[in-house]
Structure 1
Amino acid sequence: MDYFPAFLDLKYKNVLVVGAGEVALNKIKLLLRTKAIINIISECICQEIQCFVQRKKVYWISKKFSKIYLKKTYLVIAATNDTKLNQKIFQMCNNACIFVNVVDDQSKCSFIFPSIIDRSPIVLAISSSGKAPILLRLLRQKIESILPSRLGEIAVIAGQWRSVVKNYFTRFLDRRRFWEKLLNGPFSQNVINGNIKKAISILKKTIKQPSVLMGEIILVGAGPGNSDLLTLRALQVLQEADVVLYDCLISKDILDRIRRDAKCICVGKRAGKIIINQTQIIKMLIEFAKEGKKVVRLKGGDPFIFGRGGEELEAAKSAGILVQIVPGITAGIGIAAYTGIPLTHRNYAKGLIFITGHKCIDKFENNWSILSDPNYTLVVYMGSLQIIEISQKLIFYGCKKSTPIALISQGTTINQRVVIGKLGETSNMIKNITTPSLLIIGRVVLLHEKLKWFNLSNRSNNIKNIYSVID
């Protein structure tokens, strides 16, 4: 984060603008919305700023800058063509710990102006840290197009009724659930449509409805790693959660999308190192839900594909807890797509089999004769630790040593690494690969070189191919 985002209260505070041309005018127009006391220093001023001075919206206090004018000044904008003066102002403000912005010179700015979407009192500010102004403009256009013009009125009404709601609902969780229910319902739509009386009527009825705080457990699939592959429903749930129990493999980008004041607890395991065992995880889920909280169990991939989602769902149902399932893109499908390996293809594979590389507690044995059928693609989750044993079993039951195999780590992310080889050379493949990894075994792997598409610019650093043509 190059700049810390913050909203400044400039109401009735002194803001100094040095310069009074077109550039300064644009900043002054923006500052006028804040009710700041705007003081101007400039040899001469443009016509529109003269109008502001005449109407006493801004104050022209001097023609020449002096350090004395920084006294009791909260924020300074330098918008002159004099680089030496701009440098002088910047240094003085920095020494005095005053916010300063030298227009069009980012190196001399202790703050920068974001792009603003104004639906007061709802205000959104976005920034590219000065790196990509055109991209910023395109993002603003998209955001502007989806935000209703009356969005601010919803916030105004909510603010007017906030104390009343607080009297009705003394517990914080009760109040939060009330606002979530109200704002996600017909109240908001009536305000947007201009039906304020109807909206207020709905608000009053909702307040008087009995509040029963019901806990809930939601199993959410986080997808294969790339935060862009989260489903829309998953994002919504992460923003509503009171508590999130997440796996070790969940990326920081995905964790950053969780509601900021939610309680987040890491309960995963990595390379066999258990942080909290499954019995404890289930106990925590149920205890939090019985406290009336919305509890999210956030898992990599999909909860029902080697994610123990079934066990957690069974326990929640037995405890009488409300449950939801939010599917995710399972690692096998998502990672295969990002490596350009179609898991099914009529010229290469009749079908697809998913297995896990972990050994089951009850020592359940795979049917290796079925798994060795060359007409099927075999996808092995968490397979890198057992890759040699798996390859030996497959070869013993009839697979050719020349069968193509792909070993993928950190799939779908910018650090994705793909190692392509043959079933008989797996001991060489695992030397420089990180865990956990996904294995794809079968003739479809032959298509990788032709169909690869993701992260090609970094291919020399991230992807190693040791595949040779099948016999």
Structure 2
Amino acid sequence: MDYLPLFADLKQRPVLVVGGGEVAARKVDLLQRAGAEIRIVAQALSPELENLHQEARVHWLCRAFEPQQLDDVFLVIAATDDNVLNAEVYAEADKRRVLANVVDDQPRCSFIFPSIIDRSPLVVAVSSSGQAPVLARMLREKLEALLPVSIGRMADLAGGFRSKVKQQLSSVGARRRFWEKVFSGRFASLVASDQMVKAQQQLEQDLTTFAQGKEANQGEIALVGAGPGDVGLLTLRGLQVMQQADVVLYDSLVSEETLDLVRRDAERICVGKRAGAHSVIQDETNRLMVALAQQGKKVVRLKGGDPFIFGRGGEELQVAAAAGIPFQVVPGVTAAAGATAYAGIPLTHRDHAQCVTFITGHCRTDSDGLDWVNLARARQTLVIYMGTMKAADISRNLITHGRDANTPVAVISRGTRMDQWVQTGNLQQLDQLAQQAPLPALLVIGEVVALHHQIAWFGHQQQMASAVRPAVVNLA
């Protein structure tokens, strides 16, 4: 180990910064966040540092460095483009046993700045001992995605509760088990959703239960939108919840790449439904979801797209609420937004569509018919989920109620994935296009589809430089 990781208390401690440019300003920002008293030696100050100086938030000592400036400082940072001056600062600091950092000059550093993940009071530092700072930064970015912003608030609440826990739980082992359960339980979910009063109450309840020797686990359900397919469209919150799951009930539309992000030791159960294929009925999914949560498990119901847009997520949470099971919802990118964006089809456009309507081709058998008169209006975009089997009826009804038979249409299959297909034509060809489309597929009807030929694939190609280009079929 080349450097011993330490977290220094700099509150009200004098720190000298030699240099007044942008690099120095970045270091000053970090030092200010740690509460240091900052002194600057520089020929001139950047606009940012000048503002801080005018606000008396930093002290500009003078223009020239003098060794005696190091006599009463806690540490020093040299951030100039003058190598000779930087070397002098380091040498004088070393004589005085003052910690020194010469920016981007690892041999002249008695301390180094790590890549920092700030979830105060929780702080994570990643260092490569100055050998590969870009690698350390990339690792920090990966860790950022795994650490919820709420984890700092959770640490704050826990810190204020430690003395009470010590009073009621005398052994170190008992306290450790308590905090392990708390940080992975309902308390953590409440903090994540910013319900701080309820989180405090939950913490009190958990301590009482634990102190009485019950240690009962309370299960919960998280309804998570996995997005339309491309794993990059999974939300950060969705990833964090998936990493905490004991069991995941997932749909057939959830991609393998997304499932790979589930916690390794979590149980995975497919409850997907596909037209014309054997599938798990909704009542069975509801029963299983509730039964698992009642066993004290953290259940993630992982659904393609967004769970509240033709995903029956509302029905599932009604069941959870009726059973008295705590739940949370993590929205996802719906297929209509994701697939059309990757296909270069804007859902709205000032010149072509002033509104967009989402409908489903699977209606309840006891429901009234669709409002075809309004759906057939021009200059609007229709996005139809699960409509391929009824494409002929959809086309006929729209044309009968006034929609131009030459209205552009698109059928998008396996939206946002590497093998995405986009088939375009006009409204009277919709059934033919739908029959050719691999499932799952989305129907898009409206003038905006014509823009596909102008802006298709531009963004998607950047992601897929080494992949096979998605197929495009045009029957127009």
Fold equivalence (TM over 0.5): yes
Structure 2 residue aligned with 1:21:
none
Look up the match of 2:69: none
In structure 2, C-alpha distance between the alignment counterparts of 1:247 and 1:238, rounded to whole Å: 14
Confirm whether residue 294 of structure 1 aligns to residue 293 of structure 2. no
Q: Structure 1 residues 464 and 322 mapped into 2: Cα distance closer, same or farther (>3 Å)?
A: same
Q: Is the 8 A contact 1:268 1:274 kept in 2?
A: no
Q: Residue in 2 aligned with 1:464? A: 472
Note the 1:97-112 alignment, pairs <5 A.
Answer: none
Q: Could you tell me how far 1:125 is from its partner in structure 2?
A: 13
2:471 partner amino acid: I
Q: In the alignment, is the contact (CA less than 8 A) between 2:146 and 2:240 conserved in 1?
A: no
Q: Does the aligned pair in 2 maintain the 1:241–1:294 contact within 8 Å?
A: yes
1:223 offset after TM fit, Å?
Answer: 0.9
Contact 1:383 1:436 (8 Å CA) reproduced? no
SS across alignment from 2:296: coil
Counterpart in the other structure of 1:238 = 242
Distance 1:314 1:422 in 2: 40
1:442 corresponds in structure 2 to: 446
Report the CA distance between 1:209 and its aligned residue.
5.2
Cα distance in 1, alignment partners of residues 371 and 261 from structure 2? 41
Structure 2 counterpart of 1:210, which letter? T
- Alignment RMSD: 4.1
Identify which of 252, 256, 271 aligns with 2:256.
252
Q: Give the Cα–Cα distance (whole angstroms) in 1 for the partners of residues 146 and 423 of structure 2.
A: 45
Amino acid at match of 1:237: V
Match of 2:230 in 1: 226
Residue of structure 2 in register with 1:210 after alignment = 209
Return the offset for 1:124.
Answer: 9.8
2:423 and 2:474 in contact (8 A); partners too? yes
Q: Matches of residues 76-115 of structure 1 in structure 2 within 5 Å? A: none
Count of residues in correspondence between the two structures: 320
**Counterpart AA for 1:426:** L
| Distance of 1:316 and 1:146 partners within structure 2 | 29
Q: Does 1:343 align with 2:351?
A: no
1:273 alignment partner, SS class: coil
- Closer/same/farther in 2, CA of residues 145 and 276 from structure 1, 3 Å limit: closer
Please report the TM-score for the alignment, with normalisation by the length of structure 1. Answer: 0.59
What is the distance in 2 between the residues matched to 1:217 and 1:145?
A: 24
**Counterpart position of 2:313:** 309
Contact 1:352 1:377 in 2 (8 A): yes
Q: Taking structure 1 as reference, are residues 235 and 379 closer, same or farther at Cα in structure 2, changes over 3 Å only?
A: same
Partner in structure 2 of residue 102 of structure 1? none
Structure 2: how far apart are the matches of 1:267 and 1:393?
34
Q: How does 1:30-45 map to 2 (within 5 A)?
A: none
**Counterparts in 2 of 1:446 and 1:328: CA distance versus 1, 3 Å:** same
What residue identity is the alignment partner of 1:215? G
Amino acid at match of 2:470: N
Contact 1:404 1:423 in 2 (8 A): yes
Q: Deviations over 1:188-218 (max 9, x none)?
A: xxxxxxxxxxxxxxxxx99955345222111
Map of 1:281 onto structure 2? 285
Q: Do the aligned partners of 1:182 and 1:206 also contact (CA within 8 Å) in 2?
A: no
Among 348, 368, 372, the alignment partner of 2:372 is 368
Give the letter for the 1:387 counterpart.
A
Task: Give the structure 1 partner of residue 163 of structure 2.
Answer: none
* Structure 2 unaligned residues grouped into runs of 5+: 3-114, 116-123, 148-154, 156-165, 190-203, 211-215
Q: Does the 8 Å CA contact 1:225/1:300 hold for their aligned counterparts?
A: yes
Matched with 2:405 is: 401
8 Å Cα contact 1:271-1:435 kept in structure 2: no
TM-score of the superposition, structure 2-length normalised? 0.58
| CA distance in structure 1 between the aligned counterparts of 2:187 and 2:206, rounded to whole angstroms | 13
Q: Do the aligned partners of 1:271 and 1:436 also contact (CA within 8 Å) in 2?
A: no
Percent identity (aligned): 42
Q: Is the 8 A contact 2:409 2:443 kept in 1?
A: yes
How far apart are 1:175 and its partner, in Å?
Answer: 7.3
1:327-338 matches, cutoff 5 A: 327-338=331-342
Alpha-carbon contact 2:245-2:298 (below 8 Å) kept: yes
Gaps of at least 5 residues in structure 1 are: 1-28, 31-116, 127-132, 149-153, 155-160, 186-204
